[in-house]
Amino acid sequence: MSNDSLVKMANQIAHYFDSEPNRALAVQGVRQHLHSFWTPSMRRQLLAWIDDHAGEGLDPKVKEALG
């Protein structure tokens, strides 16, 4: 899968949780989704992209969920 697609999907997941007023719960929701529905290779690919691009353009909740 392309890095652009992974970033787009991760941001869509994070934006789904934008309505959650408790940031910790929103981050936990992102984390749970990524671990439940993404393959380990997808998560590794996104983490590598974050390292290479300093997470530019990625919702901060995603970075926190993976950190």
CB 60 within 8 A of CB 17: no
Global pTM value: 0.93
Output the pLDDT for position 25. Answer: 98
Residue 41 pLDDT class (50, 70, 90 cuts): very high
Contacts of residue 45, Cβ cutoff 8 Å, sequence gap at least 6: 1, 3, 6
- Can you tell me whether residue 58 is helix, strand or coil? coil
Residue 18 pLDDT class (50, 70, 90 cuts): very high
CA neighbours closer than 13 Å in the CB half-sphere of residue 53: 14
